[in-house]
Amino acid sequence: MKITFKKMHLLNNHFIVIDGVNQTFKPNTKLIREWATRSDMGFDQLLLIEKSRHKEAHFYYRIFNANGSEVGQCGNGALCVAQFLASENLSKENHIRLATRTSFIELQLANDHQITANLGTPIFTPEKIPFTGFSRGPIHTLETPFGSFDGCILSLGNPHCVLQVDNLETAPVAELGDYLNQSPHPYFPQGINVEFMKIINPKRIDLRVYERGVGETQACGSGACAAVIAGRLLNRLKKKVDVHLPGGQLQVNWPGNGASVLLTGKGAAISEGEIDCS
């Protein structure tokens, strides 16, 4: 059986997007891993749009990492999904609500094709992230083979550990990311996305992100949001922040505790094709 797909990106964060409303696709870990490394497909995440399973949502949004694991959140992916829904005439709404396996995402499409995703309120409760071995509170000191780091640990439907560093070029992104995603890890039983943040001024941060199940990526929307939340909790950032990643810039808006975090950006289509998934 063959299915059609579209390859998209946002700041060189690459996605394969599949319409699971008008065609049938049953995710297969082995196939996803194979497709992720193909020269004509290569992606960080595969995004599957299905009919809604909830009265409160227009569509069900599923995210699969390059290693085939299914996760509950992908901010940049959500922005690309909104654009895909509009371009494929799957939705004519300017306001779209997606349900994922862990949360809901509100998407607002503007006339200039910029899209804003409401990723909800951050979760700091340890068992809901999940993480173990620390006292309550979002900021914790992590002792690792690569040094001591003060990490802000939270969830936005997927788990994040934000580390503030002085030098992004020398930060042990791959090494520490791998270490914190050892399976099973005593602190992060489901793995963790690790953000390395350098605060430039109250309205700008530079960021590198290690995504669980993928490795370092050129951009990560939920990681950008997690980093701004961490910087705000440290009283070092304004509520609107430009986040500069290797792939480009995103804008994040978080007013503070109890408020939803907003991510703004614009995806782009790269190619489309058809593939045998039998």
95 CB burial (10 A radius; 0-12, 13-18, 19+)? exposed
Reported as a pLDDT band with limits 50, 70 and 90, residue 39 is confident
Is pLDDT above 70 for 166? yes
Residue type, 245: L
Share of the chain above pLDDT 70, in %: 99
CA atoms of 19 and 237, how far apart (whole Å): 39
Is 38 part of any known ligand binding site?
no
Is 158 part of any known ligand binding site?
yes
CA atoms of 14 and 169, how far apart (whole Å): 23
CA atoms of 262 and 47, how far apart (whole Å): 20
Q: Does 65 or 149 have the greater pLDDT score?
A: 65
Is 28 part of any known ligand binding site?
no
What is the SS3 assignment for 128? helix
Question: Is residue 220 annotated as part of the catalytic site, yes or no?
Answer: yes
258 CB burial (10 A radius; 0-12, 13-18, 19+)? exposed
Contact 98, 59 (CB under 8 A): yes
Read off the pLDDT of each residue in 52-56 and give the average, rounded to a whole number. Answer: 93
The pTM score is 0.93
In this prediction, residue 112 carries a pLDDT of 77
In this prediction, residue 135 carries a pLDDT of 67
Is 193 part of any known ligand binding site?
yes
What is the SS3 assignment for 105? strand
Tell me phi and psi for residue 253, to 5 degrees. -130, 115
Is 221 part of any known ligand binding site?
yes
What is the SS3 assignment for 275? strand
CA atoms of 194 and 173, how far apart (whole Å): 8
CA atoms of 39 and 18, how far apart (whole Å): 18
Q: Is the dihedral of CA 4, 8, 12, 15 positive or negative?
A: negative
In this prediction, residue 134 carries a pLDDT of 65
Of residues 122, 104, 116, the one with CA closest to residue 57? 104
What the block records as the tokens of 272 is: 């489309």
Is pLDDT above 80 for 238? yes
Contact 184, 217 (CB under 8 A): no
Map out the domains of the chain with their CATH numbers.
Answer: 2-120+266-276 (3.10.310.10), 126-257 (3.10.310.10)
Angle at the Cα of 90 from the Cα atoms of 89 and 95, rounded to 5 degrees: 100
Is 181 part of any known ligand binding site?
no
Is 65 part of any known ligand binding site?
yes
| 37 Cβ neighbours under 8 A, 6+ residues apart | 66
Question: Is residue 74 annotated as part of the catalytic site, yes or no?
Answer: yes
Query: Given 80, 161, 220, 277, which residue is catalytic?
Result: 220
Reported as a pLDDT band with limits 50, 70 and 90, residue 244 is very high
Mean pLDDT, the chain, as a whole number?
Answer: 94
CA atoms of 150 and 166, how far apart (whole Å): 12
